[in-house]
Amino acid sequence: MRKLGYFLLYFCLIGVAIFQVFPIVWLFLFSLKDNREIFAGNPFALPQQIKWENYLSVWEAGIGSYFFNSIWITGVAILLTLLFASMAVFVITRMNWKLNKLVLGIFMIGLMIPIHSALIPLFSMFLNVNLIDNPWSIVLTYTAYNLPITMMILLGFYYTIPKEIEEAAIIDGASLHRLFFTIILPLTTPVLSTTAIINMIYNWNEFVFVNTFISSDKYKTLTVGIQNFVGQYMTDWGAIGATLVISVLPILIAFLFFSNKIVEGISSSAVKG
């Protein structure tokens, strides 16, 4: 019975894995076809003639600029989010002051604010400070929207850090800033890796804010740049498929390399028993 149970378990897991991997394989094959083969042939068939030029054409059409914008906007937003969230959680959890619970509650309210309800206020605010059609409007928005979830993940880990570590550092003469940057922050590396991946997935795939705040092609990210391949009378679907593969690839690579860190970080954030 135990062997049968293991067999059924692995059979189900293999089925789920195939179900999850199939769309990625299909998208890759889709990106190697032209419009005629996509619509005239079997959509699940292998390409009759591999169209590697789809990738070359989208790169020459400016996808490299969109790719670079996605990388630096995502990276800067992640760094700012992790830094500000870590500093806020450190102050809330490791220091005794009267309003720490209230401040934490204010941050957590951000989890309940829908993205679309903030578009008009944010647009008006960025318009007043001349940040419309400026990539820093996207960086600041990503940072603000990711702070609550990042802080929520960090909270559980910070509560498990023994206070004796801080007491020993203070006795040795460490200042508050040195205590945070050289002792506490390195200790939180596992959970920071988890939050970095979560932030990366959201920032990399986000569409609404970029489409609303950015109008110049030179500042657009991959998710919005894909629209350039959709024409009024003709759409190059193979090129769109190649663009989607390029946009998905960094997320897959990051997840494959840091999947263990994600599990480790989530486990570290659990309530200490």
What are 28's two structure tokens? 């890759």
Q: Is there a domain that residue 26 lies in?
A: no
The range of the structural domain enclosing residue 100 comes to 62-236+246-268
Q: Is there a domain that residue 21 lies in?
A: no
Q: Is there a domain that residue 173 lies in?
A: yes
What are 253's two structure tokens? 């690579």
- Taking the C-alpha atoms of residue 42 and residue 47, their distance in angstroms, rounded to an integer, is 9
What are 234's two structure tokens? 């003709």
CATH number at residue 218: 1.10.3720.10
Q: Is there a domain that residue 169 lies in?
A: yes
Identify whether the C-beta of residue 220 lies closer than 8 Å to the C-beta of residue 214: yes
Q: How many domains does the chain have?
A: 1
pLDDT in tens, the chain (273 residues): 778 888 888 999 999 988 888 888 888 888 888 888 877 767 778 888 888 888 888 887 778 888 899 999 999 999 999 999 999 999 998 888 888 888 888 888 888 888 888 899 999 999 999 999 999 999 999 999 999 999 998 988 888 888 888 888 888 888 888 888 888 888 888 888 888 988 998 999 898 999 999 988 889 998 888 777 665 445 778 888 888 888 888 888 877 777 666 666 555 554 444
Per-residue b/e over 195-207, b at no fewer than 16 CB within 10 Å?
A: bbbbbbebbbebe
Identify whether the C-beta of residue 185 lies closer than 8 Å to the C-beta of residue 35: no
Q: Is there a domain that residue 126 lies in?
A: yes
- Please, which residues have CB within 8 angstroms of residue 210's CB and are 6 or more apart in sequence? 138, 220, 221, 223, 224
Predicted model pTM: 0.83
Give the Cα-Cα-Cα angle 36, 41, 45 (nearest 5 degrees).
120
What pLDDT, on the 0 to 100 scale, is given for residue 271?
45
Q: How many Cβ atoms sit within 10 Å of the Cβ of residue 132?
A: 17
Q: Is there a domain that residue 28 lies in?
A: no
What pLDDT, on the 0 to 100 scale, is given for residue 259?
67
Residue 177, judged by CB atoms within 10 A of its CB (0-12, 13-18, 19+), counts as exposed
What pLDDT, on the 0 to 100 scale, is given for residue 273?
40
